[in-house]
Structure 1
Amino acid sequence: MERLAEAVAAIALLAVMLGPLKSLWQGVQGTALRMAWPWCAVAWGTWGAALVVRITGVGEAGLQHALWYVAAIATLAPLVAILGGRWPTSRVWSLFVVLPLLLVLLWPVVAVIVGLARWDRFELEAPMLLGSLLVSVMGWGNYIGSRWTMPALAGLVGQIALLISLTPEIAADSLSPDSCSLLLCGILCAGSLWVWYWGRQSSQYLAYEESAWIEFQQLFGIVWSRRIQDRVNEVAREKGWKVRLGSRGWLDGNGQSVSLSGVETGEGLEPRGFLEWLLQKFVEPGWIAAHQPPEQ
């Protein structure tokens, strides 16, 4: 009966994630993040395989723990891919950054496959744990401070718990890899639903003058957004513009929201044109137009 309950729960979890996966594919069209979507599909498939092994009880505990670890690392792949989401870098980022990083982090599993370690007892050593934690913080942390802060924090906590549970040197006896992996899987499903729901509410930002900029921040995270914001404000100082770029649009010298239509920006590059020029390194002009208010 317990196996049947786990099977039903696993099928439900995977089915729940199909909707957000499809929605995500639609959401990244016209952006450099299209190359991150296949990694999302890989992560979904990896969790599915791990859950099947869990339900059927095939293999020893070491095999199950190894699959939990593979699923956790696969979850990081799309998050790392997003950090390279800029044209033309995105075209080679997966091949020269994401894939080598995965191979390094998955070395404990590779060691088992080639016979350097035992299947019956899969464990992480401290150096590999530290590397995995660093990548986890980089990937999930990119969305802390955005609309996805809560799912990102939950995902980071779940990821850390699972990785620590696989490291006997520091794991508490009460921290089980099976329970931590199911916790992370549940967090990912809940987070996917959160992203899917709020992603359908993106039209709320059309009330802002620079709604495309706001939506860009939610999609690409704080790393790229901060770099664009710093670049725009650097040029603003050089050109003597009377506005600065904030997270919700343009600001005057006092940090108050202001519309460009009522501000003299000085000679040289026009602020909105320069911002859109920078955004086009990440998204197509059609994407920008689709996320701007109708009157823009």
Structure 2
Amino acid sequence: MDRTVGRLALFLLAQLILDPGWLSAAASLLMGIAGVVLLWRGRTALRGTTLVLPWAWSLLAWVVLCGSECVIGVMHAQEVSGGEDQIRYLAAMTLFCPQLSQVGSKRPQWITWQLVVAIFLLVLWLPVFQVWAFSSIGHVAPGWMGGIFLAALILAGFLNNFPTRFSPTALCLVIAQINMTYTYLPMATTEVTVNGALLAMALGLIGIGSAIQGGLGCPENLRPEDRAWIDFRDSFGAFWAVRVMLRVNDSAARYEWGLWLSWNGFHQVEIVGSHADFRDGVREALITCLRKLLGDFVDDAWLDTRLPRSNTRKKGFEDLEA
């Protein structure tokens, strides 16, 4: 249902060529309300994780993005001109905040990291502040270096989340970011239009709906250790997933567990552990390792639902030999 609403909005926008005014303001307002409702519904899935702050940045970015087009539409309806590109630039830069907040979602620095995100946003806003400082109504011009930096940010955010099951959301977001910032990227000459901004909002709406519905879905009948790993990988992105994977594999090699962790789960790499006591010991060590590493990002309740504390009578790691 959520994806259908976004696709319908995208289809309708493709049929319209709008000028800024009451109609564009109304369209922005309706999509803004729909996005806020969807984001509010999705907040419960993040309970027990450090992703609540990236979610808050997502909500802020969405409100600012939709609100900026509402303001521009009302300005045109009231025949107040000037400053459109500045408003859109300020809104577009907020789209990078959720991804940066996600990168800093490790305890104990996950709360103070939000100050870094705020400072980063102010740095991105500097070209607008420069225009205001000179009392000019001219266009925002971050320059070649600024354009290259924005392109690098877009690419980094895309690579962090596209390899997960939330790849549809990552794809929608990267297209929306490009749509809102292409005029500032190297070799670009055209300006962002109201249709481009509305298209970015429609893509954002589709991305939000896809994320709430679970993206591409998660495989069923997974072992507890695989379930915890895949849920963590998809939620926190490739940057943290790779770091945790390296730590687990380092422990596996050091203590000769006879397994390794890949992007898709745990695999046995040598014929070891046929004795039941050995398997139980390895499973207990693996659970302890995973709970310690993932505990920097999620609470015990999140872990208990996916990776129960060590219990050698429960089926799980012992079937790796099969």
TM-score tier after normalising by the smaller chain length: 0.7 to 0.9
Residues 81, 93 of structure 1: 8 Å contact kept: yes
How far residue 107 of structure 1 moved from its aligned partner, in angstroms, is: 0.3
Q: Does 1:272 align with 2:290?
A: no
Structure 2: distance between partners of 1:200 and 1:28: 18
Q: 1:171 aligns with which of 178, 188, 194?
A: 188
TM-score when scaled to structure 1? 0.84
Residue equivalent to 1:237: 253
Structure 2: distance between partners of 1:117 and 1:108: 13
Q: What are structure 1's unaligned runs of at least 5 residues?
A: 255-260
Residue equivalent to 2:13: none
Structure 2: distance between partners of 1:292 and 1:205: 15
Matches within 5 A, 1:8-27: 8-27=26-45
Deviation per residue, 1:1-50 (Å, 9 max, x gap)? 97454234222211221233113322222112222222122212211321
Structure 2: distance between partners of 1:53 and 1:138: 30
Structure 2: distance between partners of 1:185 and 1:121: 22
Structure 2: distance between partners of 1:40 and 1:176: 22
Structure 2: distance between partners of 1:122 and 1:178: 17
Residues 55, 98 of structure 2: 8 Å contact kept: yes
Q: 1:43 aligns with which of 30, 36, 61?
A: 61
Residues 224, 306 of structure 2: 8 Å contact kept: no
Structure 2: distance between partners of 1:172 and 1:193: 32
SS at match of 2:202: helix
Residue equivalent to 1:220: 236
Residue equivalent to 2:4: none
Q: Does 1:107 align with 2:126?
A: yes
How far residue 126 of structure 1 moved from its aligned partner, in angstroms, is: 1.4
Q: Does 1:130 align with 2:184?
A: no
Structure 2: distance between partners of 1:262 and 1:11: 62
Residues 241, 265 of structure 1: 8 Å contact kept: no
Q: Who wins on radius of gyration, i.e. which is larger?
A: 2
Residues 36, 59 of structure 2: 8 Å contact kept: no
SS at match of 1:121: coil
Query: Aligned pair in 2 of structure 1 residues 125, 197: CA closer, same or farther (>3 Å)?
Result: same
Structure 2: distance between partners of 1:281 and 1:238: 22
Aligned residues: 287
Q: Which moved more, 1:285-294 or 1:224-233?
A: 285-294
Letter aligned with residue 118 of structure 1: S
Residues 207, 293 of structure 1: 8 Å contact kept: no
Residues 224, 308 of structure 2: 8 Å contact kept: yes
SS at match of 1:235: helix
RMSD: 3.1
Q: 2:101 aligns with which of 81, 84, 95?
A: 81
Structure 2: distance between partners of 1:142 and 1:105: 20
TM-score when scaled to structure 2? 0.78
Query: Aligned pair in 2 of structure 1 residues 162, 241: CA closer, same or farther (>3 Å)?
Result: same
Query: Aligned pair in 2 of structure 1 residues 53, 8: CA closer, same or farther (>3 Å)?
Result: closer
SS at match of 2:52: helix
